[in-house]
Structure 1
C-alpha cells in the first residue's frame, strides 16, 4: 500500500496556438505580453514540424493548489477576453487553459489532489472560445512521503 499524501508538482497556463498567426501578432492583437512563446518549426521541420504551431502562453508555476494557479492565469487574460474570442472566431487560432500535475515528484509539495473552476471562470473560458485541458503524470512510488 502506498503512503499518503503524494508529493505533487503542478503548474497552469493559458495558451493560444496557430499555424497562421505568430505569437508576435497575437501579442499585438491582445495588447498583452506573454510569459512564453514558441515559433512553429523552430526545433525541426522534418520528419514533422516541431512545435506544430506558433504558441503564446501566460503561465503560473507558483507552488500551490492548481485551481489557485488557474485563478491567477485567468485573472491575467480576462481583460483581453474579447480579443481572444475575435482571434478564435477568425478560425486560425485555438485557445485553452492547461493544468498539469506531476505526482510522485521528489521536488513537489503536498497539496490537495482535487481542483475546480468557478462558474465565472467557466463562463470566461466559454466567452473566449477556450478549451480546458488537464495532463497528469505519475512516476515511481518512491517519492511518496512516509507517515
Structure 2
C-alpha cells in the first residue's frame, strides 16, 4: 500500500506573526503561514499565523521524521517553551503534527511494503521519552491526521 507522510512542529497564533516568532526564537522556519492567507473571497478569513519546522524526507518512519525535527529544536527548548506559553495564553500554542496519506497512488515518494529486506515498514511509529519530554517542556499538543486516498471507484468494486 503506497504511503506518503510527513511531520512538522508548529507554533501558531492569531496575532503574533511568523516573522515575530522567528525574531524571538532566533530559528528560521522551514515554512510559514500568514493569517488570512487561506481565503480571499468573499473576505479574508483569519487562518492564523504558523511557524513550522518540517521533515518531509521520504522513506523515513514517522518517529524518525519527528526525531529529526526535535533534534533541530532541542537547543532552543527554553525559548520555544516561553514563546509557546505566551501564545497559548492568547489562543495560540505549539503542536507536533503528523500527516499520513494511505493508498496515495498519485505520489511515488515511499511505500510501506518492503521491496528489499532492509526497507523499513513505515506503518508503525512511536514517540520515545526524549520526544515526549520535549513536547511536554514546550507545552505542545500532538495532532495526527490520516487520510485514505483510495478513490470512490475502487470502493465500488
**TM-score w.r.t. structure 2 length?**
0.80
**Stretches of 4+ moved more than 2 A in 1?**
42-48
For 2:122, which of 97, 112, 136 is the aligned residue? 112
For 1:70, which of 66, 70, 74 is the aligned residue? 66
Distance 1:100 1:140 in 2: 16
Contiguous gaps of at least 5 residues in structure 1? 1-5
For 1:133, which of 133, 143, 146 is the aligned residue? 143
The alpha carbon displacement at 1:48 in A equals 6.0
Distance 1:30 1:62 in 2: 24
Distance 1:123 1:54 in 2: 25
The correspondence of residues 1-147 of structure 1 with structure 2, limited to 5 A, is 6-44=1-39, 46=42, 49-50=45-46, 52-63=47-58, 64-90=60-86, 91-92=89-90, 93-106=92-105, 107=108, 108-110=110-112, 111-140=121-150
The alpha carbon displacement at 1:120 in A equals 1.3
The alpha carbon displacement at 1:44 in A equals 2.8
The alpha carbon displacement at 1:127 in A equals 0.2
Distance 1:112 1:34 in 2: 26
Which deviates the most, 89-98 or 52-61? 89-98
